[in-house]
Amino acid sequence: MTKLIGYARVSTRHQDTDRQEVDLRAVGVRTDDLYVDRGASGANASRPALDAALRALERGDTFVVTTLDRLGRSTGNMLTLAEELRTEGVALRVLNLGGGDVDTSTPMGSMVFTVMTALAQMELEIKRERVLDSVSKRRAAGSDLGGRPRKISESQLKNAAHLVAADVPVAEVARNLGISRATLYRRLQTAQVSEATEALDSPEIVAGMHPPSLPGLTVPIERI
């Protein structure tokens, strides 16, 4: 015999599920078939009552929630769960979805679900494209990508400035410091470490040319 399995959830124990439980019972969910999670965030991968409700479902049953966000915070995860239910022969009924009662066991409900899935996938693709575009722009600008920036001491910056002023290739100095050439330029330009740093601000250095000679500049023998 097919049945309705209801599920209600609140994120904190200070909230109550009374309204959800009333609405679920009103559509025919029996008390014994009503599962409630209290103090369970939608971001949690495992929610005891939800897990129990899913185990209780059998082919032909209908899983009922008041709103789709009771299943989780991520649209993608919610739709994935709904698709898994459908492949198991279980319908999903959302009492308030877009202002109406949607049941995937009906043609109209199935269509709404399909549209929602397509929109969620499109949203995911747009976000992915934005991330890739941002990474590409940052890489082109020579920005660091991910991870904590390497800490470079003032003495290391001074030493790097001396080496660059002594015609040591910028790429080699940056490599020894474990940073990119663009990052080395940026840190030397923004940190007021020595006369050598100020000299690096000239257009010649930005263009990749050697800096002007600096009187009295001592070039260390060792390389950092």
Nearest in space to 193 (alpha carbons), one of 224, 219, 149, 162: 162
8 A C-beta contact, residue 102 and residue 112: yes
Let me know if 166 is exposed, middle or buried by CB neighbors in 10 A (0-12, 13-18, 19+).
Answer: middle
pLDDT score of 105 more than 50 = yes
Region 152-169: mean pLDDT is: 81
pLDDT at 35 over 90: yes
Residue 201: per-residue pLDDT: 47
**Phi/psi-derived region of residue 60, left when phi > 0, alpha when psi is between -120 and 50, beta in every other case:** left
Question: What's the confidence (pLDDT) of residue 93?
Answer: 92
Is 155 tagged catalytic? Answer: no
- What are the structural domains of the chain? 4-126 (3.40.50.1390), 144-224 (no CATH)
Whole-model pTM: value is: 0.53
CA atoms within 13 A on the CB side of 157: 22
Which of 11, 105, 110, 143 is flagged as catalytic? 11
Confidence of residue 130 (pLDDT cuts 50, 70, 90): confident
